[in-house]
Amino acid sequence: MSKSNGSQSSVKNIVFAGLGGQGVLKASDIAATAALLAGFDVKKSELHGMSQRGGSVTSDVRYGDLVRSPMVPSGEADILVVIAPDQIEVNRWQLREDGLLIEPSLIDLDALTNKKSLNVALLGVLSASSSIAKEHWTQAIREHLAEKLHEANFAAFDLGRTAAQREQRQ
């Protein structure tokens, strides 16, 4: 437990959502590790169990100078990353008013060499609006995925990141 008394105001709240088997937990693991590598305090939390038999899955990642609760307070997500289009509406309530929704339509699916990397492509989009340096994201992907998957996922990450940067410039 962190003993310091610092305030929590700087905490970034991200909720990942999708269906069992889509890599929701993998995506949140990568994001949490990237935040760790960037030197932040970080907490990540989700519900395992029955939810993984194709049902809805969500995972919370929070990072900043000091994080207390491992769960994003209801309706206070800064960013909601949804991997399954049909899970957007059931999870929208988690997003704060001016929060950012990151959804699959931002990605050119035809450009994805491996469809299973959609979760990582969305991380690429997320990375463009986070203060975590790209090298930390890359390192986190390396730590959480088997070596033979690295190339496809780096490509997916870049695809998402460029799409987001293009959008930001517009």
- Closest CB 103 distance from other proteins, rounded Å: 16
Select the span of 37-45, 100-108, 123-131, 154-162 touching other proteins (CB under 8 A). Answer: 37-45
Query: What does the alpha-carbon distance between residue 137 and residue 40 come to, in Å, rounded to a whole number?
Result: 13
Select the span of 1-9, 123-131, 149-157, 162-170 touching other proteins (CB under 8 A). Answer: 1-9
Query: Which residue in 4, 23, 27, 32 binds other proteins (CB under 8 A)?
Result: 32
Q: Please tell me whether residue 93 binds other proteins under the rule CB under 8 A.
A: yes
99-119 burial code (b ≥16 CB/10 A, e <16): bbebbbebbeeeebeeeebbb
Nearest CB to other proteins, comparing residues 18 and 160: 18
Cβ atoms < 10 Å from Cβ of 169: 6
Q: Please tell me whether residue 1 binds other proteins under the rule CB under 8 A.
A: yes
Query: What does the alpha-carbon distance between residue 55 and residue 87 come to, in Å, rounded to a whole number?
Result: 10
Query: Which residue in 4, 89, 110, 146 binds other proteins (CB under 8 A)?
Result: 89
- Closest CB 46 distance from other proteins, rounded Å: 6
Residue 17 neighbours by CB under 8 Å, 6+ apart: 24, 56, 57, 58, 59, 80, 81, 82, 83, 84, 87, 90, 91, 94
Query: What does the alpha-carbon distance between residue 36 and residue 34 come to, in Å, rounded to a whole number?
Result: 5
- Binding residues for other proteins, rule: CB under 8 A, are 1, 5, 7-8, 19-20, 29, 32-33, 36-37, 39, 41-56, 58, 67-71, 73-75, 86-87, 89-91, 93-94
